[in-house]
Amino acid sequence: MGMATRWWLVVVLLAIVAADVSAQPRARQATVAHPHLEAVSQKTDAILDELKQTGDFESARRASDAVLDRLIAYADANDFEAFREIAYVRRLVRQLEQVTDVDRLEMLAYLRSKPRLGRAVAFAVKPENDVAAVYRLLDELREARGDKLETFAYLAAAIVVVHDRPMVTQVNENTTSSPEPIELFDFYAGNHERMKFGIRDMPVELLVYLVDIGATIDEMQWALDEYRGHRNVGRLFHTIRYDQNHFRRGTPKRVTTEGFNLPNIRAFGGVCADQAHFAVTVGKAIGVPAVYASGASSQVSHAWVGFLEQQGQSGVWNFDHGRYAAYQGVRGLTRDPQTRQWVDDSYVSLLAELIGTNETQRYSAAAMTDATIRLHAISQADLDHWDPEPLITFEAGDDDDAAAPPSPRGRDLASQLELLEAGLRESHGHLYGWLMLAHMAESGQMTLDQKRRWADVVMRLCGQRYPDFAVVLLRPMVETVTDLHEQDALWEQMFQMFRRRHDLAAEIRMRQGEMWEQAGEFIKAGQRYENVIERYANAGPFVLEAVRRTQRMLEQAGRGERVLELYAHTWSQVNRPADMYLEFQQQSNWYRLGMMYVEQLQQAGETREAQRALAQIEQRVGR
């Protein structure tokens, strides 16, 4: 959750409170279709018209903040059109305010005339982006390709938010660079009919995993000609020969000496990083969003492939190809193309949920997240009261002598969660809305009842299709429960939810054990670790830590004589490795646990038994 926390710190700092607290008589809302949309549209048009005349971005920013505050205070949480409108204008004003080397008013006029492009860019920018560079690059594309940007608005937005900084990819000893942004735009726009998935309507959140490609245009064209329409780009990982000479003898890789590019990787092979780079890059070149994934088991890192795979009318991210048995259960990491930070691969998996959504749903989710951030900032401000003026006129009923003024929405967590939930129901794949929820849970703001309710929301909206991501969200909700028996009960509920996913079940059991161990409840902790050893020895690296912790507790309890029995039994539970390459066999649970067992035997003076176990390991795996 590190990335989520850093993102939050930036966003909350940007959410400057500018509440309009002028008091006016208020009464019952007039019955008008979409009353807030009409009012917001009038206000935002006036803000942008005045900005065009004065060039005063600070004033426009404060005015847009005030409109959002008034909308938050009185609008229904489902008034998505009004929230989308103010979110777009507010984002656009704030972003253009940061631009220094582009004619901002000319860009404003251009984007007002190209609404699809303007919204695509404004909603795509993240706090980590170099906003000035984003709009400088957009200006270059505008001058070079003009109205074509509106036709390929999502593609243009993806390119400018990814390539605001040079994109350099490190593949072990080799580096690759992306083409120039205009060349990249021309390649995808010119070949859009040949792409595996549609370019025009693919959400920006998925397109960023195309345009972060590390290859030349010539390589991309070669890949498109050779692999156009390939149904499973993950399998390309296995078509690249593994360079055994490099691994066994340390000789330079042939692909490095001959020149690192896609045709040479296919001709000369490489190691896992090169195999993954080949499959991922070919995927991007033929229109398949793909990522380079990695993780470490023991001391050796490994790379594999993640790619968007068609599944009927929808899609799913596939992270199976190249992920050898020793790395099953290892948390995979991928690089976010915009932030350049390594993030949990479950974040990427969630993005498949955006397939089949339209832009209004995606922008609604983003707008409601913006509103929640704003309300959170207001709640943290030192305000005696919060009573912004309504945006619309409220009228008394016919039988009322005087209308009772409506109260503004509260600033409490329940009100923030109301806004957030409305947006997430519009688009279940809105990553930052979910990360905001995790932040609220992590910071200890949520009550136990709120956590229980939101656990149900998480499971219904994304838990069935994206269990890894659901665990990421639920974990801080459980860990921040202070009553250990209540926390343990919640862990048990999570365990039942994910018991069919052995890696997730093992992770939950380990966290239960750690909780009880830290509390000094060693019997309860040992029961959880024993469960991992007996049922989940092959679910990932969890069993290794379970054995270490159990050994420590046995020794602390004066039962050190049972340690050898513990290792012998656990080793018998673990499957022998079947991976074809020696370096990955040596990362298996069987090898690592076996070597730990040998060490324990030697320390106990059981030399002959240690030699017998070591011979068994060498026979199967080698040294």
Yes or no: say if 293 and 333 are a contact pair by the CB < 8 Å rule: yes
Q: Give the pLDDT band of residue 160 (cuts 50, 70, 90).
A: very high
Average pLDDT value for the chain: 89
- Residue 60, Ramachandran bin (φ over 0: left; ψ between -120 and 50: alpha; else beta): alpha
| CA distance readout (Å), 525 to 327, 538, 552, 562, 573 | 26, 20, 12, 17, 20
Share of the chain above pLDDT 90, in %: 77
User: How many separate domains does the chain show?
Assistant: 1
State which amino acid sits at residue 546: A
Residue 486 lies in a domain: no
Residue 492 lies in a domain: no
Whether the per-residue pLDDT at 405 is higher than 70: the answer is no
Yes or no: say if 205 and 157 are a contact pair by the CB < 8 Å rule: no
Q: What is the mean pLDDT of residues 596-617?
A: 95
Residue 540 lies in a domain: no
Residue 450 lies in a domain: no
Cα–Cα distance between 417 and 347 in angstroms, integer?
A: 21
Give residue-wise pLDDT tens across range 409-456.
Answer: 999 999 999 999 999 999 999 999 999 999 999 988 899 999 999 999
Q: Give the pLDDT band of residue 490 (cuts 50, 70, 90).
A: very high
Of the candidates 49, 19, 33, which has an alpha carbon nearest to the alpha carbon of residue 392? 33
Q: What is the largest CA-CA distance in the chain?
A: 98
Q: Quick one: tokens of 255?
A: 């692909």
| CA distance readout (Å), 336 to 15, 321, 383, 412 | 23, 20, 37, 32
Q: Where are the beta strands (DSSP E) in 212-266?
A: none
Q: Cβ atoms within 10 A of the Cβ of 23, count?
A: 10
Give residue-wise pLDDT tens across range 244-282.
Answer: 777 666 788 999 999 999 999 999 999 999 999 999 999
Share of the chain above pLDDT 70, in %: 90
Cα–Cα distance between 369 and 61 in angstroms, integer?
A: 18
Q: What is the mean pLDDT of residues 544-551?
A: 96
| DSSP tag of 447 | -
Which residue is listed with tokens 């390459």? 581
Q: What angle do CA 183, 232, 266 make, to 5 degrees?
A: 65
Whether the per-residue pLDDT at 93 is higher than 50: the answer is yes
Residue 579 lies in a domain: no
The C-alpha torsion from 189 through 194 and 200 to 206, rounded to 10°, is -100
Q: DSSP 3-state assignment of 60?
A: helix
Domain, as residue range, for 269: 2-363
Q: Give the pLDDT band of residue 404 (cuts 50, 70, 90).
A: low
pLDDT of res. 394: 61
Whether the per-residue pLDDT at 396 is higher than 60: the answer is no
Give residue-wise pLDDT tens across range 193-221.
Answer: 999 998 999 999 999 999 999 999 999 99
Lowest mean pLDDT among 71-75, 84-88, 574-578: 574-578
Of the candidates 115, 118, 96, 114, which has an alpha carbon nearest to the alpha carbon of residue 105? 96
pLDDT of res. 326: 65
What count of Cα atoms within 13 Å lies in the side-chain half-sphere of residue 235?
Answer: 5
Whether the per-residue pLDDT at 401 is higher than 60: the answer is no
pLDDT of res. 250: 72
**For the chain, the helix, strand and coil percentages under 3-state DSSP, each to the nearest 5:** 60, 5, 30
Whether the per-residue pLDDT at 28 is higher than 70: the answer is no
Q: What is the mean pLDDT of residues 540-556?
A: 94
Residue 376 lies in a domain: no
Yes or no: say if 94 and 129 are a contact pair by the CB < 8 Å rule: no
Q: Quick one: tokens of 125?
A: 């920018």
Residue 314 lies in a domain: yes
Yes or no: say if 379 and 408 are a contact pair by the CB < 8 Å rule: no
Q: Give the pLDDT band of residue 12 (cuts 50, 70, 90).
A: very low
Q: What is the mean pLDDT of residues 538-552?
A: 94
Yes or no: say if 458 and 474 are a contact pair by the CB < 8 Å rule: yes
Whether the per-residue pLDDT at 5 is higher than 70: the answer is no
Reported pTM: 0.89
Q: DSSP 3-state assignment of 308?
A: strand
Q: What is the mean pLDDT of residues 508-525?
A: 97
State which amino acid sits at residue 472: V
Residue 281 lies in a domain: yes
Whether the per-residue pLDDT at 32 is higher than 60: the answer is no
pLDDT of res. 121: 98
Residues forming a β-bridge with 175: 170
Cα–Cα distance between 277 and 286 in angstroms, integer?
A: 14
